Structure 1
Amino acid sequence: MPSAVRIHELGGPEVLKFEEIAVGSPGPGEVKVRHTAIGLNFIDTYFRSGLYPAPNGLPFIPGNEAAGVIVEVGAGVTDFVPGDRVAYGTALGAYCAERVMSAAPLLKLPASIPDETAAAMMLKGMTARYLLRQTYPVKAGDTILVQAAAGGVGLILCQWASHLGATVIGTVGSAEKGELARANGATYVINYRDEDFVARVKEITEGALCDVVYDGVGQATYPASLDCLRPRGMFVSFGNASGAIQNFSLLALSQKGSLYATRPTLFTHVATRDALVANAKDLFEVVGSGVVKIAVDQRYKLADAAEAHRELEARRTTGSTVLLP
């Protein structure tokens, strides 16, 4: 029987249980997918802990991102056939060897993009795309701050924003991660363990500060991220790697220069098929052309998902991590 990681109770990495599961046949509008690689993301830990509730309650299979091959299609599915290479980044239930799922979140993979690359980039890459092209449309001459620049989303943001002509300032937690961020497009790198990143941003920009801050860290970088913004700059909080922001102050936005703040999610940006396809098209183009390179820096067996979660939450990973069924 196929294997999967399931969660029967909320908690730490220890609640991830490797089990055998029964996988049936696809119904109308559904397909059966055999996974070849599965992406690991911080959002997986939010579902595991209960910060984000699983839509159908317990037990559930975590994970939103994977690549694989279609092995069977249900009635009414016309866009896919068995043998198609596909990937997705917005469908809970990815931590498994096989699954039956709706065809709606799936995207056909170009021949130029390997399965592991796809599994490592769909959620993170589509997140970077909406952040850079929709939430705050970055343009040449902008100065941006990327918190956790050596992470999966951070490395993509740095490369893509640099390609768009922005000056990219990235924060990291070690010298090794600093070199990685710099090699991936960060113009300036700040090691937040050794330096006051607000003071350093002021120094780098000669007091002009940043047009936008992309912050996937959360609690540990708030409210300091606001102090890195120019008047009417935008604070984009898109993740909670260090914990969710508490006691957010609207008044602080006025006091610090009529700032804008938003807490977007990928799911609302790809809620329609047209929006999903448009996002993925841009992502496939920048990856396929080599503008953005996807670093798969860690690989774990699916059975070792708990260890992968521990490493991710301890901030000991760089780039992207994949789980292999």
Structure 2
Amino acid sequence: MSRPPVGTLIGLPVAAVTLALPAVLDDSALAVYILLGLAAMVTVGVSLLMGYAGQVSLGQGAFYAIGAYTAALLSLGGVPPPVGLVAAPVVAAVFAVVIGTPLLRLRGHHLAFATLAMQLILLSLAGQLDFTGGDIGLQAIPQFGVGSFEMGGAAAYAYLTWGGLALVMLVTHNVITSRPGRALRALATSETAAASSGIPVGRYKLTVFALSAAFAGLAGGIYCFYTGYVAPGSFPVLISIQYIVMAVVGGLGTIWGAVVGATAITLLLQGLNTLATVPGMPTYAPSVLSYAVYALVLIVVVLFLPQGLLPAVTGRLAARRDRTRQPLTEERDGSAAESR
């Protein structure tokens, strides 16, 4: 009698706890919970982009900002919030296609620095343009709602966030288990070998880049409705580095690994923020602690858990199951031999 996969054994309890938590958490904990879900949404796209397409992007925060500004501007202009939320990932993906066409000709650290420069330029423009509110940003963004129904509580936004994350995970699962997903794995291994096998490397790289941007744009759209306020300061450069750290810590090329990495880093950052606000700590303590911990966590993971937290845990669980199953198999084979 076969046992369920390790992923199912882990995923079902996590899903049950996820649905139950909004009903028991207070507002401050719900804020962390929502931000965790939004970070996981973006990190799934980063894991897909880096783990399968082999492309390093330090500009996911830019697509997060594009999604937030798109939904905010449309809602403030009288467009129904659901339309603004749908437009957020679409606009982010279109922008990724436009900017990715020249940028994806670069590789390695050149591509990483180019995407980082893209975010810096975008935030600089957002801080100077009038229709984006300049450095002050956009305020009084309407609550998300459908018709006469409006989301007024944090618990409703928590369910909206994790519903969006479930959609992102489902789309990613369908992509990586399809024929293009197998082509992406070949692309991550060797672009030259993939091209020689007939895989359209440039088109696939641009498609995955746009898809990861759409995930970030969707998260940004939910973020703007939840906070009711967006400004260039809401999307610092550190946030893009944070997504990379989350993907690496959780496990590149895994869907649940992105969620695990986002959870671990978000909770760690909350602990650091609490520590940084202790009386007597300097004002620059939060940023210094964040950069120091990011560096330390990356070094530890690369040295001791090169595949990430989730692959390491599931690998050990699978190995333990194999060890417990082996004596039963040997006993059954022995009994069959005796009967013959």
**TM-score, normalized by length of structure 1?**
0.26
More strand by share: 1
Which protein has greater RCO, CA pairs closer than 8 Å, 6+ apart?
Answer: 2
Q: Larger C-alpha radius of gyration, 1 or 2?
A: 2
